[in-house]
Amino acid sequence: MLCLFDATTLESKGTLTLSTPIPRIQGVSFDPASRRFAVAADNPARTIGYIYFVSLDGEVVGPTYTVPQTGELEGLDFTQGYIGYVIQPFDYVYFLFSIQAAGSGFYPASQVEVDGVAQPTRYENGELLEAIVPASALQTFGQAHVTVVNPPPGGGTSSALPFTVTQSDL
């Protein structure tokens, strides 16, 4: 269950019952554009962190991304469409970007690749996939290429679609 508050007034907005419990929640942040929450949690040893998505009706998806940790997973921000988080004690901010691939003929085993490197991919349906891409996968500014790989038999790699990575993105 999540307790909801107005960030400006701190007025209680009630609770949100989760479809699946998320143990050891460390942070919650809301993205108004996608109308969902990002929720960070860690394991008891604080060696692995998890990022989940939660819809406004409490549907939990994930973990959509697994984070190797060396300490506390803190400082979650999902207010600008990307996910930013800090792993203590290093105070370095890590960034994750969500890429949605729309098309047709996708399968649960379909994989989104950025510049030929497979990214954690979530199957939405036969026409939509979502990949969580760490900023470290976008090594340079300029063009990156997104493809979708569908499994055999009859699968293969889609044509690449370019997108531009600018300094403001990273």
Q: Which residues contact 57 (CB under 8 A, 6 or more apart)?
A: none
pLDDT digits (tens, 9 = 90+) for 63-89: 888 887 777 777 788 888 788 888 776
C-alpha pair distances (Å), 7 with each of 10, 35, 55? 5, 15, 18
pLDDT digits (tens, 9 = 90+) for 5-34: 887 898 998 999 999 999 989 889 999 888
Question: What is the set of domains in the chain, with CATH numbers?
Answer: 1-91 (no CATH), 99-170 (2.60.40.10)
pLDDT at 57: 93
% residues pLDDT > 90 (the chain): 26
- Residue 125: which of 152, 100, 145 has the closest Cα? 100
